[in-house]
Structure 1
């Protein structure tokens, strides 16, 4: 049974995120310098433009890079920086093919601990410490991927009842709470810089 996801705030895009580990991983990759809903609707848009109802890591990795960049650049663009994000998506997919036979769920299927899963996520192209922790929290909170110590490995993003990131969004109300948290964090950081 696929979880009900509300990250894209679009039924078709959210349905894909709920059933496709690659789609949610690509959405997380795209989630930078654009509104979260735009990032997480990207996998659905890419699948549609590739003439499919799902994403396939091997197919994306082997796609002609210029043609793939054009898919992301079509209006409306998949990202604010569609060319560079096309490269990142293909790098991620190539890594998945090389290391996990293109099976995204193999990243977490046999892990024993949250720390082990975090290390695997941090090894993904385009995933630094923070993005890996947010994705780990998303897996634990919404996809029931909960190896021992997953909350601790995800840090503050793993806290129960928090509203810090995509991991905590289950609908419009929680989206508003996450946005408010992020705005407050930006204000606090700006105030700290000015002192």
Structure 2
């Protein structure tokens, strides 16, 4: 599986962590709601800076109140830092229980097709249909996932050359294009 360097956070250290650590990328996706996407994807680096590294097992084992405090301390990992801290810990527990702490098991365990990976993603705490499809598209477009039918399972987010979600952000220009797409989609929805 060939993956590319992730450039979603638009910050070298944060993007290096997202590229190197699958759980960090999953956490970034978890935080990507009601918050600017590049800031959401900087959240894992903030956690790493405050914990002296980014480790799924340490996150899962952290005292919940202390982890909430760490996540909510300015600059917080999200505008709802405490509730998102709980969600991140839930995610760490889930990956630990179901994939032995190996996040890539979501898309690699048992050589799954796109439909199966979508099903696995939808089972994650805090992942609905849309978030699961976007993350599946991100796996296919940037992490080298080639499971049969991934583009179909990802729906419109899997379209080649689209600029509709974080899955399509590879640099500052594509981030701007995705923002513009979202702005137009919001305006069109409002006009209905």
- Asked whether 1:164 is paired with 2:169, we answer no
The Cα shift of 1:5 comes to 1.0
Q: Tell me if the contact between 1:3 and 1:19 (Cα under 8 Å) persists in the aligned partners.
A: no
Structure 1 window deviating more from structure 2 (132-141 vs 1-10): it is 1-10
Q: In the alignment, which residue of structure 2 is the partner of 1:181?
A: 181
Task: Determine the C-alpha separation between the residues in 1 that align with 2:3 and 2:130.
Answer: 26
Task: Determine the C-alpha separation between the residues in 2 that align with 1:8 and 1:138.
Answer: 14
The Cα shift of 1:3 comes to 2.2
User: Deviations for 1:68-92, whole angstroms, at most 9, x for unmatched residues?
Assistant: 0011111111100001000000001
Q: Tell me if the contact between 2:3 and 2:144 (Cα under 8 Å) persists in the aligned partners.
A: no
Name segments (4+ residues, structure 1) moved above 6 Å.
none
Q: In the alignment, which residue of structure 1 is the partner of 2:66?
A: 67
Q: In the alignment, which residue of structure 2 is the partner of 1:133?
A: 133
Q: In the alignment, which residue of structure 1 is the partner of 2:96?
A: 97
Structure 2: any 5+ residue segments left out of the alignment?
A: none
Structure 1 window deviating more from structure 2 (2-11 vs 88-97): it is 2-11
User: Deviations for 1:36-67, whole angstroms, at most 9, x for unmatched residues?
Assistant: 01100000110110011xx2222111110000
Q: Tell me if the contact between 2:3 and 2:142 (Cα under 8 Å) persists in the aligned partners.
A: no
Equivalent residue of 2:184, what SS?
Answer: helix
Task: Determine the C-alpha separation between the residues in 2 that align with 1:42 and 1:165.
Answer: 18
Length-normalised TM-score, structure 1: 0.95
Task: Determine the C-alpha separation between the residues in 1 that align with 2:122 and 2:178.
Answer: 23
Task: Determine the C-alpha separation between the residues in 2 that align with 1:2 and 1:168.
Answer: 14
Q: Tell me if the contact between 1:118 and 1:154 (Cα under 8 Å) persists in the aligned partners.
A: yes
Quote the RMSD (CA, aligned, Å): 1.0
Task: Determine the C-alpha separation between the residues in 2 that align with 1:138 and 1:73.
Answer: 27
Equivalent residue of 2:42, what SS?
Answer: helix
Task: Determine the C-alpha separation between the residues in 1 that align with 2:5 and 2:102.
Answer: 21
Structure 1: any 5+ residue segments left out of the alignment?
A: none
Q: 1:75-114 residue pairs with structure 2 within 5 A?
A: 75-109=74-108, 110-114=110-114
Q: In the alignment, which residue of structure 2 is the partner of 1:25?
A: 26
Task: Determine the C-alpha separation between the residues in 2 that align with 1:60 and 1:112.
Answer: 27
**Count of aligned positions:** 190
Task: Determine the C-alpha separation between the residues in 1 that align with 2:20 and 2:162.
Answer: 24
